[in-house]
Structure 1
């Protein structure tokens, strides 16, 4: 059973228990509660019946407290894919599944969703955010938060606020005028707070207008808590808290991770020195205890959810979200769905799919269905051929396909402390995330050991990534024994996640298994930012001549009825921690597409990228399907859509440029520590309209497998009603988008903006009607002189559309 309503008798009961528990705590216990006890949890306080609160990264899965494949996680499609479905109800179902996963793993709080905006296509974490539009972002985020909390698990809506790029993200001062701050960047947070009542917020690393967000009293205490009425807990991004008094006075409740933080003993000392009022600490503790009460971690307090929602099939939902988020942006002459006949599949990502983005969003699914797997299962035997065609990367990556590995941990004397399994060659143990029996103090070396069965005959490259001493052996022979030192100006995080180094090449035979080993001795003199062990055993298969690979794909395509090419980005292109330099597909993938398209006019290109990339050949191919990072069932969903078993349900949540040079807003690099949001309210499609520029594909664009006729539009204050008919020969789903365009407006505003949307379903020949709310906020601007919202009356053109640039009906509305 789940509570309904913002204020219930259970709320009052929880508050009573919270106040009673707070009254029993001394200062040291209070301040200890506000500091992480380790990487992912807060300390238990048995004296008040409080169990340890556990947090975990999201947003596409629940990793749990250990970064390991021993406890796999369902991997849903990327947030851009979820937003592309334009369906808050689907987002809510995704959230419920993630709550189910969290409860299975003993997690109370999911560190998600990310609702920062796609200010520029170069944002490295673009794939982890929903959209360039604040209304769409807020709606999808609301559904997601509601779903997670339906399952009795907390969320932390992040990163509050304006963490819209990765360059210098720890220190950058984003200079944003009040109007764009309110109308764009704060808007999704405001909508989610008001409509979903999240139990947590995560404050960002960056500064906004000269104040670090963890210390931003105005935005946290006055706006978030004061104006909007947020009553949840506020946790720092990991290592973002830097000032004991500044953070607690700025409204930060919890400083993560622990045990070394600016809270705990430091905060207690500040209170005793008269620098902080104990009542300020009490307010923060109260917020944490309220969270504990809501999730059932505080004895005597009724949890919000007593009976979780019915169990959800994770594989089935992952598959559904994937095909619902696929965006068909081009489909000439009905190239899709596929007709009967043969299919020539090419692209390295068709075999080794990239299903999720890099960084803290990474989880380890139990299985992954690649496009090759999905199409092999869906097509008749003998109908499918596969060639590599082009590999997006010639860089060594963590040993994966064909490797079976484990990590053996030893102390300085060589005694084995413990072992852990590895999903691939990447060791990434942070905080207490160590194999059983292993401690950072005792650990001296880790040996990645196992076996490798090559898929291809030829020269295989092996190497390392990380700092310290390494000894690499293949098939019993030591190939490298040396030290990788930290350079004088190297960022320690970059040392962990930086470029791999090739150490040796070995000629191996496909199918013949060899023993492999990488012994890594820790450099105890190196002080990492966190207690962590992070290095990789990396590998690259035989590097064949790129022209030869493309020629093979061309021959296969020429002999097939349809050619399907899968192109992709890599973790070195899209990941947390850095922004993109360009929008080009890596490697020779553009050459592959052009060559295949020249050989077979019926060429379909699947774009496996979490955010926009340049598609210079897009007019030369029959169809282009954007699959984003499609999650663990991506290949199965792709087969569903290509064969016509399912419709591609997605619409673009962000404008897709033809070339980076066309994009109106691209700056991500600060000058003198500051990044000026000089474009004001004109980002995304708002900026494209203002510049008069034409993108490759407009915001909201997406094709289906049926056709729709928009019959009528009725616009009234507060609502727009749209009537439409499925005029095709198969059932379909349509996303009806409503835009407002001011008539003879004297206010500087975008030419048009999304005011509402709705999804409808209909069978062939069926007529349906949808009523779409037009909220008052859609007609308001932030008045910087009054420091308040201002309603702008007058005439508006109301547009019922399939995309920003494909309006089907219009009506004039006077407000």
Structure 2
């Protein structure tokens, strides 16, 4: 998918060098689509071209095959581009070839393929294993003082899992999440490893605008051998067309972490959810927070995989998708990507 932004002043969907590179150097055999209305903004917002027809011509010739949205057919833009000689038949043929090639590979045109897909096609053990593998490979260990992780099962009899997302399957799914087949929350997953697992939300929800539930979290933390605090974001804080206004943890989440950390028997483990960086510089040098683990949005098997990571079955050796500068996060302006 080619995105909205520009690279060196050229819209992504018009970058023939980059789009063609996926085929020539990476061996990509699929089709390239635009992000929704990324073609429309080339003329309307970015003013990179002088007309809608020019926008259509430049993306088709660059190697884009499919437009997300109605721009190519709206007001007969593509027809007009053809009539004005800006788009040739071979440009259309190339895009159609890539689109139909994928459909033939999927068997859509096979005689006995009725194309009736349902839950039985996705809610399989194989797909669940693949989802779990994605979590394992994507988990990032941001901090691990004195080799605190992995934990030893023989030494952990009681775990407290704390946080508004710790027992919420909804929080584990990111934008455009489908309907999970059999979600496993972090609490449920931990209970499979450590029978005496207690849960306290600490906050009513991820926005965490009150300390009313802190006392319950404090009592749970005091009683446990190990405390895991699940903090970060969900779709009430970030999603498409709904950007964050701050890189800090929402509401009083930071206060919750500090409060819990002050009463635990051992330093706690901080688990972060979210699609982008959050400012956890407060935890970086805090000896009461032994480990910080970033999981992104781990999906329906996130709860199953978390204890497997914490107890050393898997090494959280993933890499962040972007560089974090925790000491200067709050000084970074939140810019409009359309203008980059």
Q: Aligning the two structures, in what range does the TM-score lie when normalised by the shorter sequence?
A: 0.7 to 0.9
Match 2:96 to one of 268, 288, 291: 288
Task: Write the distance in 1 (CA, Å) between the matches of 2:22 and 2:16.
Answer: 10
User: Who is 1:633 aligned against?
Assistant: 301
The residue number in structure 2 matching 1:567 is: 231
Distance 1:597 1:577, change over 3 A: same
Partner of 2:163: 347
Is 1:651 equivalent to 2:314 in the alignment?
no
Closer/same/farther in 2, CA of residues 219 and 650 from structure 1, 3 Å limit: same
Compare the two structures and name the one with the higher strand fraction: 1
* Other-structure match for 1:718: none
Counterparts in 2 of 1:448-597, with a 5 A limit? 546-597=210-261
- Conserved 8 A contact 2:53-2:78: no
User: In structure 1, what is the Cα distance between the partners aligned to 2:16 and 2:90?
Assistant: 27
CA–CA distance in 1 between the matches of 2:54 and 2:295? 36
SS at match of 2:136: helix
Check whether the contact 1:390–1:546 (CA below 8 A) recurs between aligned residues.
yes
Structure 1 portions without partners, runs of 5+: 1-157, 165-173, 226-232, 242-246, 248-254, 256-260, 301-310, 396-544, 678-815
Partner of 1:203: 34
Alignment partner, residue 501 of structure 1: none
**RMSD of equivalent CA atoms:** 3.4
Q: Which of the numbers 368, 371, 394 marks the counterpart of 2:183?
A: 368
Aligned with 1:555: secondary structure? helix
Whole-Å Cα distance in 2 between the matches of residues 563 and 213 of structure 1?
Answer: 59
Match of 1:645, SS state, is coil
Query: 1:694-719: CA deviations, max 9, x gaps?
Result: xxxxxxxxxxxxxxxxxxxxxxxxxx
Deviations 1:38-81 (A, max 9, x none): xxxxxxxxxxxxxxxxxxxxxxxxxxxxxxxxxxxxxxxxxxxx
Shift of 1:575: 0.8
Over 3 Å counting, the alpha-carbon distance change for 1:549 and 1:176 in structure 2 is: same
Output the TM-score relative to the length of structure 2.
Answer: 0.77
**Separation in 1, partners of 2:290, 2:280:** 13
> Could you tell me whether the CA contact under 8 Å between 1:605 and 1:624 is conserved in 2?
yes
Is the contact made by 1:389 and 1:592 (CA closer than 8 Å) also made in structure 2? Answer: yes
2:211 counterpart SS class: helix
Change in CA separation of 1:312 and 1:200 when aligned onto 2, cut-off 3 Å? farther
Greater helix proportion: 2
Does 1 or 2 have the higher relative contact order (CA < 8 Å, sep 6+)?
2
* Residues 1:605 and 1:645: Cα distance change in structure 2 (over 3 Å): same
Aligned-residue offset at 1:262 = 3.7
| Secondary structure in structure 2 of the residue aligned to 1:386 | strand
Q: Which residue of 2 aligns with 1:108?
A: none
Residue of structure 2 in register with 1:660 after alignment: 329
Over 3 Å counting, the alpha-carbon distance change for 1:579 and 1:330 in structure 2 is same
What SS does the aligned partner of 1:547 have? Answer: coil
Partner secondary structure for residue 181 of structure 2: coil
**Structure 1 residues 143-199: Cα deviation after superposition (integer angstroms, max 9, x where no partner):** xxxxxxxxxxxxxxx1x24x24xxxxxxxxx58446x989xx887645422213343
3-state SS of 2:23 partner = helix
- TM-score, length-scaled by structure 1: 0.34
Name the larger-Rg structure.
1
Q: Distance in 1 between matches of 2:130 and 2:213?
A: 36
2:22 to 148, 168, 192: 192
* CA drift at 1:277: 5.2
Q: Deviations over 1:107-154 (max 9, x none)?
A: xxxxxxxxxxxxxxxxxxxxxxxxxxxxxxxxxxxxxxxxxxxxxxxx
SS of 1:313's equivalent in the other structure is helix
2:282 corresponds to which of 612, 617, 629:
617
CA positional deviation for 1:285: 4.6
Q: Structure 1 279/581 Cα, relative in aligned 2: closer, same or farther at 3 Å? A: closer
SS in 1 for 2:270: strand
Cα displacement (A) at 1:332: 1.0
**2:54, 2:298 → 1: CA distance?**
33
Q: Distance in 2 between matches of 1:644 and 1:275?
A: 64
Distance 1:326 1:575 in 2: 21
**Residues 636/656 of structure 1: CA separation in 2 closer, same or farther (3 Å cut):** same
1:328 and 1:624 in contact (8 A); partners too: yes
CA distance in 2 between counterparts of 1:213 and 1:394 reads 45
Aligned residues: 305
Give the drift of 1:218: 4.1
The CA distance in 1 between the partners of 2:198 and 2:293, in whole Å, is 20
Alpha-carbon distance in structure 2 between the residues aligned to 1:283 and 1:186: 13
Given that residues 57 and 86 in structure 2 are in contact (C-alpha distance below 8 angstroms), is that contact kept between their aligned partners in structure 1? no
Q: How does 1:92-241 map to 2 (within 5 A)?
A: 158=1, 160-161=2-3, 163-164=4-5, 176-177=8-9, 189-194=19-24, 195-204=26-35, 205=38, 206-207=41-42, 208=46, 210-211=48-49, 215=55, 217-218=57-58, 220-221=60-61, 224-225=62-63, 234-239=65-70, 241=71
Instruction: Give the distance between the partners of 1:293 and 1:175, measured in 2 at CA.
Output: 29
Asked whether the equivalents of residues 203 and 213 of structure 1 are also in contact (C-alpha less than 8 Å), the reply is no
